[in-house]
Amino acid sequence: MPVTAFDIPEKYTYQNGFNAYHETEAVPGALPIGANNPQKAPLGLYNEKLSGTAFTAPRNENQQTWLYRILPASSHSDFSPRESATYNTNPENKPHERIHQIPNQLRWDPFDLDEGVDWVHSLHLLAGAGDPAMKSGLGIYIFAVGKDMDPHEAFYSADGDFLIVPQHGVLDIQTEFGHLLVRPNEVCVIPRGIRYRVTLPSGPARGYICELYQGHFQLPELGPMGSNALANSRDFQAPIAAFDEDHSGSTTYTLLSKFAGDLFAATQTHTPFDVVAWHGNYYPYKYDLGRFNTMGSISYDHPDPSIFTVLTAPSDHAGTAVADFVIFPPRWLVAEDTFRPPWYHRNTMSEFMGLIGGQYDAKTGGGFQPGGASLHNVMSGHGPDAVTHEKASAAELKPVKVGEGSMAFMFESCFMVGVTDWGLKTCRKLQEGYNAESWEPLKARFRRPEEGGNVNGTKGHRRVEATDYLTGSSGDQ
Ligand SMILES: [Fe+2]
């Protein structure tokens, strides 16, 4: 039997809390007390600061971590461009890989697994907006990885924070800050600059990445929901300090940098994973989507899908996200007199969706499959397909649990999200006829009252109002 993700038990310990100020030491006494930058750090370590925001960022946004390591991160050779023929995450600089802005609704079959490449070479830019050099926008990647990274390699992106959503297989991620095991139905965030190495304990892996060129992910406001709901802070897990010891000078390590979309490489003769202790609030973390506390309507009309937001990366405009990470987990539908699938919709935001497993409840048939994707760009109409609409319009509205065994997600962005040549052509997964199959079969059913149209719609569509209580009417008509 092949090893599956579910055969891989958790093997690391973590410290819990979102945007918490953590401190951790792999050797007792490695963290200096009081001063961050003592003249002589404990145990002969070097002091190093990693800044995730400007020094002067407001206190509630400021993110930084102090690292105490065997040798500083700056101790390496010059970087040189690397493998531009096979590695390409920068369509802006390559005319044959430019971003195409198109209004069509797009949907992709499951992307192929690839047993021949490591993590760094598994990243395919599918869609995006903006420019990492201007710290503006986002990139959406499909990864399909089949090989461990070389034991003497480390990778980082200077371009943005990676929100990694595995769909198939397990990622064992060694970071400067310690280890993370990320399985399907878990996600992790590796902020920009943090060096890491990915290995595959269950074989090939596939999934989705949202790279945030600007800002960082945060938890959404909860407003009237109160102090606990959706993704709770305590369920986010950060690594504890763990380090390798190899500074003999006899082994060459390669440091790979994704920098403005291109890949660069430098060498060093000591392990990049030599952080013995750290303290701060800028670190990688993971989250189990099964811990999401789903909210929804218990009367009528389901809320906007923002009610399912796990993480949000705000733009400079309040309430408008560069990227929202939204999930559609198993949940109960109990609302009365309500069309239960999502409504038909056109959005000033763009909506990229993926499916981790199971069957998404707003579509019928096999068009939207685990490992596939869809994109409904700015103002492109979308919603339940004709078959789903027909079924939902006639369904008995008893309480029902939807999405069991399923987990769909959305990256929703305020930007117009363009698609690369890889997404349109090279991957060969773009479906033909998505629109024709989904919405063109919808029939007009409008009838004027004199033609027999029912002005009341479904029975009881009018809610019970104060006058109904006074007169004893049920509100049904
Ligand atoms: Fe929508």
Kindly report the average pLDDT of the chain as a whole number: 91
Is the distance from CB of 163 to CB of 155 less than 8 angstroms? no
Q: 360: CA distance to ligand 1 center in Å?
A: 14
Residues 317 and 252 placed together within one structural domain of the fold: no
- What distance in angstroms lies between residue 94's CA and the mean position of ligand 1's atoms? 32
pLDDT at 91 (0 to 100): 54
340 and 208 share one domain = no
Assigned domain for 450 exists: no
- Pick the last residue of a domain from 233, 259, 288: 288
Please indicate, yes or no, if residue 5 is contained in any of the structural domains: no
* SS3 letters across the chain: CCCCHHHCCCCCCEEECCCCCEEEECCCCCCCCCCCCCCCCHHHCEEEEEECCCCCCCCCCCCEEEEEECCCCCCCCCCEECCCCCCCCCHHHCHHHCCECCCCCEEECCCCCCCCCCCHHHEEEEEEEEEHHHCEEEEEEEEEECCCCCCCEEEEECCCEEEEEEEECCEEEEECCEEEEECCCEEEEECCCCCEEEECCCCCEEEEEEEECCCCCECCCCHHHCCCCECCHHHEEEECCCCCCCCCCCCCEEEEEEECCEEEEEEECCCCCCEEEEEECCCCEEEEHHHCECCCCCCCCCCCHHHHEEEEEECCCCCCEEEEEEEECCEEECCCCCCCCCCCECCCCEEEEEEEECCCCCCCCCCCCCCCEEEECCCCCECCCHHHHHHHHHCCCCCEEECCCCEEEEEEECCCCEECHHHHHHCCCECCCHHHHHCCCCCCCCCCHHHCCCCCCCCCCCCCCHHHHHHCCCCCC
- For the stretch 89-109, pLDDT in tens is 655 555 555 789 999 999 999
The one-letter code for the residue type at 98 is R
CA 438 to ligand 1 centroid distance, Å: 15
Task: Record the tokens describing residue 310, joined without a space.
Answer: 């796990």
| pLDDT of residue 19 exceeding 90 | yes
- Same domain as 305, residue 270: no
Cα-to-chain-centroid distance, residue 185: 11
Considering the candidates 152, 247, 302, 461, report the single residue annotated as catalytic.
302
pLDDT of 182 strictly over 50? yes
**289-323 tens-digit pLDDT:** 999 999 999 999 999 999 999 999 999 999 999 99
- Ligand 1 centroid distance, CA of 354 (Å): 13
Closest CA to 22 of 198, 178, 157, 213: 178
Residue 54 belongs to some domain of the structure: yes
CB 282 within 8 Å of CB 301: no
CB contact set of 252 (below 8 Å; sequence gap of 6+): 152, 267, 268, 269
**Whole-angstrom distance, CA of residue 296 vs CA of residue 403:** 14
Question: At which residue do the structure tokens 């660069």 appear?
Answer: 264
Known binding positions for Fe cation: 345, 351, 382
Residue type, 343: W
Q: For the chain, state the CA radius of gyration.
A: 25
What is the pLDDT confidence band of residue 167, given thresholds at 50, 70 and 90? very high
Same domain, 58 and 203: yes
Distance 462 CA to ligand 1 centre (A): 26
Numbered residues of the known binding site: 345, 351, 360, 382
Percent of the chain with pLDDT over 90: 81
pLDDT at residue 455, rounded to an integer: 78
Residue 2's pLDDT band, with cuts at 50, 70 and 90, is very low
Handedness of CA 207, 213, 217, 223 (dihedral sign): negative
pLDDT at residue number 475: 46
The CA 193 to ligand 1 mean position distance, Å, reads 33
Confidence of residue 1 (pLDDT cuts 50, 70, 90): very low
Reported as a pLDDT band with limits 50, 70 and 90, residue 447 is very high
**Residues 281 and 397 reside in one and the same domain:** no
Find the 410 Cα to ligand 1 centroid distance in Å: 10
Low-confidence winner among 46-60, 178-192, 392-406 (lowest mean pLDDT): 392-406
Whether residue 57 sits in one domain with residue 140: yes
Are 421 and 91 spatial neighbours (Cβ–Cβ below 8 Å)?
yes
Q: What is the pLDDT averaged over residues 146-159? A: 97
> Residues 123, 267: one domain?
yes
Could you give the CA distance from residue 54 to residue 59 in angstroms, rounded to a whole number? 11
Cα of 347 vs centre of ligand 1, distance in Å, is 6
Number of domains in the chain: 2
- Note whether residue 8 is domain-resident: no
Instruction: Tell whether the model's pLDDT for residue 476 goes beyond 80.
Output: no
What tokens were used for 192? Answer: 């920009």
Name the residue with tokens 């006829």.
433
Tell me, yes or no, whether 176 and 92 share the same domain: yes
In a domain, 467, yes or no: no
What is the distance between the terminal CA atoms of the chain, rounded to a whole angstrom? 60
Task: Return d(Cα 453, Cα 446) in angstroms, integer.
Answer: 7
- Both 424 and 324 in one domain: the answer is yes
pLDDT score recorded for residue 383 = 93
How far is C-alpha 129 from the geometric centre of its chain's CA atoms? 16
Provide the sign of the torsion angle of the four alpha carbons 88, 94, 96, 99, taken in this order: positive
**How far apart are the CA of 256 and the centre of ligand 1, in A?**
37
Whichever domain contains 296, its CATH number is 2.60.120.10
> Are 100 and 232 in a shared domain?
yes
- Pair of tokens at residue 172: 């064992």
What is the domain range of residue 397? 290-438
Q: Which residues are annotated as a binding site for homogentisate?
A: 360, 382
> Quick one: average pLDDT of 351-363?
89
Please list, in sequence order, all residues whose beta carbon lies within 8 angstroms of the beta carbon of residue 376, skipping any fewer than 6 positions away. Answer: 105, 345, 347, 350, 351, 353, 382
Q: Residue 27: is it exposed, middle or buried by C-beta count within 10 angstroms (0-12/13-18/19+)? A: middle
Q: Is the dihedral of CA 295, 416, 434, 168 positive or negative?
A: negative
**Mean pLDDT computed over 421-446:** 93
Domain finish residue from 263, 288, 313: 288
> How far does residue 346's CA lie from ligand 1's centre (Å)?
6
In angstroms, the Cα distances linking 1 to 116, 199, 202, 460 are 21, 20, 11, 54
Half-sphere exposure of 5 (CA within 13 A, CB side): 19
**Confidence check: pLDDT of 15 > 90:** yes
Per cent of the chain over pLDDT 70 is: 91
Question: Are 109 and 147 found together in one domain?
Answer: yes
Q: Retrieve residue 156's tokens.
A: 């980082």
Residue 443 within any structural domain of the chain: no
Position 42 confidence tier, pLDDT thresholds 50, 70, 90: very high
Residue 460 lies in a domain: no
Concerning whether 376 is annotated as a catalytic residue, the answer is no
Q: 279 with 211, same domain?
A: yes
State mean pLDDT over 360-366: 74
228 part of a folded domain: yes
Where does a domain end: 288, 321, 355? 288
- Residue 447 and residue 452: Cα distance in Å, rounded? 7
- Give the model's pLDDT for residue 466: 67
Q: How far apart are CA 198 and CA 105, in angstroms?
A: 34
